[in-house]
Structure 1
Amino acid sequence: MFRPSTRSALIASVLIASSCASVAQTKVSDDVVRIGVLTDMSGVFSANVGPGSVLATKLAIEEFGGKVAGKPIEMLFADHLNKADIGAARAREWMDRNGVDVVTELGNSAVALAVMNVAAEKNRVTMVTGAGATRITGEDCKPNNVMWVYDTYALAKVGTLPLVQDGAKKWYFITADYAFGHSLEGDGMRFVKDGGGSVSGSSRYPFPGTDFSSYLISAQASGANAVAFASAGADLQNQIKQANEFGLSINQKLVAMLMSITDVHGVGLDAAKNMNFAETFYWDMDDETRKFSQRFFKELGKMPTALQAGQYSAVLNYLRAVEKSGSDQAEVVMKTLREMPIQDAFARNAKLRPDGKLIHDTYLVSVKTPQESKGPWDYYKIVKTVPGDQAFSPLSESKCPLVKK
């Protein structure tokens, strides 16, 4: 049933319950496990998260038959409109009025950081699957928060360093002017320099943007070998299209610091061919990824992004932790998550660290040419699999105050 909500944010609650009864006595608050999916349903990130992340949550709940620890599972979802104050207000309302136990997705770093503060105050769990600022598990880490899919450190290291080593020594950055963009730019510049390269300049644009002509002209005039886009979603797609129109791809390598399969689909293989970037999931890796992705495709008509696959994984493992512990209490769930094995269609060789970061395999991919692709969504070649302990920052470098040095 859909209900209107304030500030035009979309909210709905879906109660999914199986017919089998259970008399098991558990420590589940209100006798219901409530999951709140706070996402971008209508903005620049909606294709990468949004309705697909809601669907991914639904698929994870269905794997439990709608019940966990003998109690029904309820899902709520809302649009945070990429505004931190709206996201924080919605999360607070969910926790105070609806008894939500975990708020997840949070596909905007500013929104994620704001909601994490609310959850810490209310002693609830947050599972960040769509945001990537390193602060989330760094200086702003929280004891009941996890960061499941990626961070800007891993994206930059896996997606940038190999290109510098292959000869792209001079870089220019076009950056979204907010927390995620700043973090992605900073980590990207670090690995360019670590690899022996240099940064000839950067431009920051007001987020979201549509006309990138002035920034692209500056990048073209810089003489850089590589032009890096520290952005995502619709902004990234527009940047790639406009860069091709300006002819940047003729003499300069275009680098996406964060790109998804829907971005490739949106700009087309002609525009995206041969681009390299870091990924955390690809639907056509093996039988397990194909099985989940076909379920997803059947309902939404497209293959899942890494963020949507990561959302499925995070919710699935949250429910596994509730099932294993018999409780939805935040500290119990977090302790169980850190102790139990984490392995599914998304998470490979995964382990949850004390700072809340999930460490797992990451991939360097190359976009196929139109001639190499065998059909719709056949877009990636996996160039290299990078183990999690090599892709993500070492715990010894963590700025999280929860980490004992």
Structure 2
Amino acid sequence: MPSPRTGATLALATCAWLALTPAFADTVPVKIGVLADMSGIFSDIGGKGALEATLMAVEDFKALPEAKGLTIDVVSGDALNKPDVSSSIARKWFDSEGVDVLVDLPTSAISLAIAPLVQEKNKVALFTASGTSDLSGKACTANSVHWTYDTWALAHGTADAITRGGGKTWFFLTADFALGHALERDAGAVVVADGGKVVGNVRHPTDTKDFSSYLLKAQASGAQVVALANAGGDTITAIKQAAEFGIVESGQKLAGMLLFISDIHSLGLKTAQGLQLTTGFYWDQNDQTRAFGKRFAARSNGRFPSMNQAGAYSAVLAYLKAVAKTGSAKDGAAVVTAMRAAGTFDDPLFGKTHLRADGRVVHQMMLVQVKKPAESKGPFDYYTILATIPPDRAFRPIADSDCPLVKK
């Protein structure tokens, strides 16, 4: 039996140990930085909606038992779709404002610039709005999580379906930046693997207003499929001008390699009807997604969430649960390890989900077709789900990854 003095010493040691454990810590500060396109051509697919989705995730997390002791702050910034501006904001947030994690990151070029910075500072990047599959390939880091979609998944959904359906010759109209290049590369590989042929391509700058010269080249190519390897406002403008040029009426098919429900809303069903696309989220898929979609719309002037905005919600929720397990947000790599250690879980928006060693978050994807105006029953009732692609087929096999963190 210990002496009174020994007993007191043990009690003090126990109290000190308990004070350092997550369950007994007084407060665990977490600061989330939503770095999105707040004013440019990608603002509808992320932007203020990504911020709103992040705030919803924080609210929902705070209702969970494990949230006790965490104090969560959210800040936001406009990336202006420029890697240098985004890197400057991120560095300031990390060095002087105590931000622990970045969310959204609106372009692949921005994400490829941010990934090494996040690793250097041992923070976390939740890439929920950028597409290049290099983020879980040669550019992967132990601090990066690539949620929502990537160019490999989009290519193997849309390009595979269209090529197997008879669209054997392709012409790419490609945005001249990292995402466009990756979309063309990955989709072109699928076309060739399926027995098709890429007969030409043309590249355009971001935020192009006049696609006439590019569309004339696409028409002159005689390709069965004109693939739009771009995003946001560029895709909307290209589709509208393609209609003016009679691209589809002349017998060519338009393939949107990266389309969002906000794009369909801007185009209108009369223009967008019949388009096939691949998405990781659709608000009207099931009861859980419908509940989230309607709640989001009530807070967002009636606009329903894009897959990027849904990705921000799910990624932030999973991140906060991992912080609660580790007891601190200060070691970014440790938090990502905790996210991976969660194994396969039921995400409320994406279904069965897990984080791989290469930073790729794996979940189902869907091949959908845009409804005709007469088929739509209400606001944002835009998609018919043609096929659900299971997680093990939706993303590049990890055995094929060139991520240096993956053991061969």
Compute the TM-score of the two structures, normalised by the length of structure 2. Answer: 0.91
Residue 50 (structure 2) aligned to one of 46, 50, 53: 53
Match of 2:284?
A: 284
- Give the stretch that moved more between structures: 95-104 or 323-332: 323-332
In structure 2, what is the Cα distance between the partners aligned to 1:65 and 1:206? 43
Match of 1:214 in 2: 213
| Residue 99 of structure 1 pairs with residue 98 of structure 2 | yes
Task: State the shift of 1:389 in Å.
Answer: 1.3
In 1, the alpha carbon distance for the partners of 2:150 and 2:56 equals 25
Output the amino acid matched with 2:363.
H
**Post-superposition shift, 1:326?**
2.1
Using the alignment, how far apart are the partners of 2:69 and 2:21 within structure 1?
A: 8
* Partner SS, residue 146 of structure 1: strand
- Residues 1:399 and 2:402 are matched in the alignment: yes
From 317, 340, 359, the equivalent of 1:338 is: 340
Q: Structure 1: how far apart are the matches of 2:178 and 2:273?
A: 29
Between 59-68 and 307-316, report the one with greater CA deviation: 59-68
Distance 1:30 1:101 in 2: 15
Would you say the 8 A contact 1:313–1:344 is kept in 2? yes
Distance, in Å, in 2 between the alignment partners of 1:398 and 1:71 is 36
Q: Which residue of structure 1 lines up, in the alignment, with residue 4 of structure 2?
A: none
In the alignment, which residue of structure 2 is the partner of 1:161?
A: 160
Cα shift at 1:261: 0.5
- Residue 243 (structure 2) aligns with: 244
Q: Is contact 1:176-1:208 (8 Å) kept? A: no
Is contact 1:159–1:278 with CA below 8 Å preserved after alignment?
yes
Match of 2:31 in 1: 34
How far, CA to CA, are the matches of 1:258 and 1:357 in structure 2? 18
Aligned mates of 1:24, 1:188 — CA distance in 2? 53
**Mapped contact 1:68–1:322 kept (Cα < 8 A):** no
Match of 2:59 among 62, 74, 83: 62
Q: Deviations over 1:92-112 (max 9, x none)?
A: 100110111111110111111
Distance (whole Å) between structure 1 residues aligned to residue 43 and residue 345 of structure 2? 27
Distance (Å, rounded) in 1 between the aligned partners of 2:252 and 2:360 = 34
Identity of aligned residues (%): 46
User: Is the Cα contact below 8 Å between 2:35 and 2:102 reproduced in 1?
Assistant: yes
Moved more, 331-340 or 76-85: 331-340
Q: 1:270 offset after TM fit, Å?
A: 1.0
CA distance in structure 2 between the partners assigned to 1:243 and 1:224 by the alignment? 14
Per the alignment, residue 201 of structure 1 pairs with 200
Give the letter aligned to residue 112 of structure 2. L
C-alpha contact 1:160 1:192 (8 A) present in aligned 2: yes
Amino acid at match of 1:355: D
Aligned to 2:253: 253
| Aligned residue among 377, 384, 389 for 1:386 | 389
**Partner residue, 2:109:** 110
SS of match in other structure, 2:405: coil
Q: How much does 1:282 deviate?
A: 0.4
Whole-Å separation in 2 of the counterparts to 1:180 and 1:45 = 13
Judge conservation of contact 2:118–2:125 (CA < 8 Å) in 1. Answer: yes
TM-score calculated relative to the size of structure 1: 0.92
CA deviation profile, 1:290-347 (whole Å, cap 9, x unmatched): 1111110001021000010011000010011112332222132112111114322322
Give the partner amino acid of 1:259.
Answer: L
State the partner residue of 1:130. 129
Once residues 313 and 45 of structure 2 are traced to their aligned partners in structure 1, the CA distance between those partners, rounded to angstroms, is 13
* 8 A contact 2:19–2:26 mirrored in 1: no
Which residue does the alignment assign to 1:176? 175
SS state at 1:311 partner: helix
1:71 is matched by which residue type in structure 2? Answer: L
Does 337-346 or 348-357 show the bigger shift? 337-346
Give the distance between the partners of 2:376 and 2:216, measured in 1 at CA: 32
Secondary structure of residue in 2 paired with 1:229? strand
Question: 2 CA distance for matches of 1:30 and 1:208?
Answer: 45
| Paired position in structure 2 for 1:6 | none
Measured in 2, the distance between the counterparts of 1:364 and 1:152 equals 14
> Which residue of 2 is the match for residue 373 of structure 1?
376
**Partner of 2:322 in structure 1?**
321
Contact 1:229–1:236 under 8 Å retained in 2: yes
Q: Deviations over 1:62-101 (max 9, x none)?
A: 1123893502100011001011011111111001101111
Task: Find the residue that maps to 1:371 and give its secondary structure.
Answer: helix
| Shift in Å, 1:29 | 12
Q: Aligned equivalents of 1:247 and 1:363: distance in 2?
A: 29
How many residue pairs were aligned?
383
User: Which 5+ residue runs of structure 1 have no aligned equivalent?
Assistant: 1-22
Match of 1:13 in 2: none
The structure richer in helix per residue is 2
Code of the aligned partner of 1:152? T
**Displacement after TM superposition at 1:147 (Å):** 0.1
Moved more, 335-344 or 209-218: 335-344
2:15 maps to which residue? none
State the partner residue of 2:262. Answer: 262
**8 Å Cα contact 2:143-2:336 kept in structure 1:** yes
**What residue number does 1:304 align with?**
305
CA distance in 2, matches of 1:331, 1:50: 26
Q: C-alpha distance in 2, partners of 1:259/1:24?
A: 49
| Distance in 2 between residues matched to 1:282 and 1:159, nearest whole Å | 16
CA shift for structure 1 position 385: 0.3
Deviates more, 1:267-276 or 1:65-74: 65-74
Amino acid at match of 2:54: T
Give me the whole-angstrom Cα distance separating, in 1, the residues matched to 2:179 and 2:297.
29
CA RMSD of aligned residues (A): 1.6
The AA in structure 2 aligned to 1:318 is: Y
- 2-structure distance, mates of 1:230, 1:24: 53
